[in-house]
A and B are shown apart, each in its own frame.
Chain A
Amino acid sequence: MGVAATADTQSGDHIAPMVPEKSPLCALPLDSWHRAQGARMVGFAGYEMPIQYEGIMAEHLWTREHAGLFDVSHMGQISFTGTGVDAAIEALIPVSLSTLPVGRQRYSLLLNEAGGILDDLMIARRSDDIYMVVNGATKYDDIAWMKAHLPQDVILNLMEDQALLAVQGPEAVEALSQIVPGVEGLVFMQADAFLWNGHALWISRSGYTGEDGCEISLPASIVTDFADALCALEAVRPIGLGARDSLRLEAGLPLYGHDLTPEISVIGADLGFAILKRRREEGGYIGHERVVADLAGGPPVRRVGLTIEGRLPAREGCPIFAGERQIGHITSGGFAPSVGGPIAMGWIEASLSAAGTALEIEVRGKRIGATVAPMPFVPHRYHRVKN
């Protein structure tokens, strides 16, 4: 049996092959904790990371029903300070900081001059700095690129002594509030500082599963004790990268390096919501011309969701056809445990991207039926403010 994956062998920041990477990998602060929990470790984004504990399917469903703990300490946590930091960041990325108060977080993107996506990220205002979280596989490139474009008065600090955890699921906030009282007061995309045993935490109500939950930035020195305290609660179990990927796919959330790359634009990637009206109109960030052009003329390619007939998963790289003509390819796909069948995301010609369009995907020489589907595939359950 070939243990290596076949045509859909993944590359970059995604589910890694089961064979560990050859290059030296860094250990996460929770490395021994993961192994003690029975994790199977794989190389991912330069780190040895847990791909699964008891099994992807069980972990996925546990997160949708209860609460899952994810270690995402490989991601880059960056602090920006200095004179003119707001203006300097606005000149770089399309986020609107003028309307971002302390304790609010937004999703944004790092774009190149041509408007291609270099990374996607979260950005929050704290009382003493601007806090950004970028993808693990891209963090050093992002930092080099940002440093090259930021004025000298702005100080960029990669917070290498901080770990990052996510607790996700319908019981996540209730569980977290048992050890960090007060987090239940946050709403989606709100964040605040908290204390745990005298240690400073930064917690946002956000995540990458489509479920309610929080992301917790904390000193690496206490992350083992904190993970133990959370997993001592009945609702919380550790969840690996495998289920993280299937959960985010069902939630319609793109994965950088796969669904998002420099080859696709913000509007093409269906992420126009991340650029608020003032920034769309005034511009003043790198990549603006492309956003304007796409808004006016429409992008040539769009990221879409696809439901797939039958049981055969269509994975990254599979070509998508309209009749005999290839009109795109799958950028990520697999079996969706909560949907109970295969789903995918892909890039296709914009003229064929309307929901309901019938297409075909080729998997190992076989054509299977697929339909452009609205995303998310599983409804989001974020804790939003009710009017």
Chain B
Amino acid sequence: MSRYFTDEHEWIDVSGDIATVGVTDYAQCQLGDIVFAELPEEGKALSKGDDAAVVESVKAASDVYAPVSGEVVEANSALEADPALINSDAEGDGWFFRLRLSDISELDGLMDRAAYDAFVAGL
């Protein structure tokens, strides 16, 4: 399984044609205490760049965009009861949703861990 990163601070795990999407630890740290996550419904078709989810911290609401195109196959229901999972385990149990990729080539040009870490270090 490969993990990709975007400059919008999302991570994408790809296994076959299924992509699991979440926000990075850097992103959760910037957002602060998260109190609510609004996730896309199963079956929703998302194009790269669409509004996919909204994450509410104590101070503000922020959009999460679809980093790649595809159909939503699962949203992380654990976030309904415990949105703070995004703070405590952003790059693990705090994942947002899973997509069936419609265009694998969109993964080209995304960053790997080393490139993303360098990107964050330069911010």
CB distance from A92 to the nearest CB of B (A): 35
Residue in B10, B35, B64 whose CB lies within 8 Å of A335: B35
Q: Is the CB of A8 within 8 A of B60?
A: yes
**Contact mask for chain A residues 8-52; partner B; CB cutoff 8 A; 1 contact, 0 none:** 111000010110000000000000000000000000000000011
Instruction: Mark contacts of A359-381 with chain B using CB atoms, 8 A cut-off: 1 yes-contact digit, 0 otherwise.
Output: 00000100000000000000000
User: B residues within 8 A CB of A334?
Assistant: 58-59
CB distance from B35 to the nearest CB of A (A): 4
Q: Which of A7, A57, A246 has the most CB of B within 10 A?
A: A57
When distances are taken between beta carbons in the complex, the residues of chain A under 8 Å from B23 are 1
Docked pose: A10 CA to B58 CA in angstroms: 13
Q: Are B58 and A246 in contact (CB under 8 A)?
A: yes
Contact with B along A291-318 (1 / 0, CB 8 A): 0000000000000000000011101000
Q: Is the CB of B10 within 8 A of A1?
A: yes
| CB of B105, distance to nearest CB on chain A (Å) | 22
Let me know if B58 and A6 touch, CB within 8 A.
no
Please tell me if the beta carbons of A2 and B64 are within 8 angstroms of each other in the complex.
Answer: yes
Chain B residues lying within 8 Å of A3, measured Cβ to Cβ, are 9, 27, 30, 62
How does the 8 Å CB contact mask read for B46-87 relative to A, with 1 for contact and 0 for none? 000000001111111111110000000000000000010000
Q: Which residues of A contact B57 (CB under 8 A)?
A: 56
- CB distance B58 to A5 under 8 Å? no
- Given the known interface contacts A18-B30, A55-B32, A55-B33, the answer about A335 and B56 at a Cβ–Cβ threshold of 8 Å is yes
The answer to whether B27 and A311 have CB atoms under 8 Å apart is no
- CB–CB A4/B35 < 8 A: no
* Interface presence of A337 (CB below 8 A): yes
Quick one: given A312-B56, A335-B56, are A1 and B61 in contact (CB under 8 Å)? no
Decide: A2 near B63, CB < 8 A? Known: A57-B33, A312-B36, A364-B38: yes
Closest to A42 in B: B59
Residue A94 at the chain B interface, CB threshold 8 Å: no
The residues of A that contact B106 with a CB separation of less than 8 Å are: none
| Separation of A1 and B55 alpha carbons in the complex (Å) | 10
Cα–Cα distance between A18 and B58 once the two chains are bound (Å): 13
CB distance from A87 to the nearest CB of B (A): 44
- Secondary structure at the A interface, as helix, strand, loop or mixed, is loop
Task: From B23, B61, B83, name the one whose CB has the most chain A CB atoms within 10 angstroms.
Answer: B61
Residue of B with least CB distance to A364:
B54
Q: What is the number of contacts between chain A and chain B, taking CB atoms within 8 Å? A: 80
A245 and B32 CA atoms in complex are apart in Å by 15
Instruction: List, in ascending order, chain A residues with CB within 8 A of B59's CB.
Output: 15, 51, 56, 242, 245, 334
Closest Cβ of chain A: how far from B61's Cβ, in Å?
5
Q: Is the CB of A311 within 8 A of B54?
A: no
B29-43 contacts to A (CB < 8 Å): 30, 32-33, 35-36, 38
B8 within 8 A of partner (CB): yes
CA distance A5 to B9 in the complex (A): 15
User: What is the bound-complex CA distance between A55 and B87, given in angstroms?
Assistant: 11
Bound-complex Cα distance A58 to B33 (A): 9
Given contacts A18-B30, A335-B56, contact A1 B36 (CB under 8 A): no
Question: What is the bound-complex CA distance between A310 and B109, given in angstroms?
Answer: 40
Whether A6 pairs with B61 at a CB distance below 8 angstroms is yes
Give Cα distance in the complex from A260 to B30, angstroms: 29
User: CB-CB < 8 A to B36: which residues of A?
Assistant: 311-313, 335
Q: Are A15 and B32 in touch, CB under 8 angstroms?
A: no
The answer to whether B62 and A6 have CB atoms under 8 Å apart is: yes
Q: Tell me if A242 and B32 are in contact (CB < 8 A).
A: yes
Interface bits A230-248 vs B (CB < 8 Å: 1, else 0):
0000000000001001100
Q: List 15 A-B contacts (CB under 8 A).
A: A1-B55, A2-B63, A6-B61, A6-B62, A8-B60, A10-B60, A15-B59, A51-B59, A56-B32, A57-B32, A245-B59, A311-B83, A313-B56, A335-B56, A364-B38
Q: Which 5 residue pairs are nearest across A and B when measured between Cβ atoms?
A: A5-B60, A2-B63, A57-B33, A335-B35, A56-B58
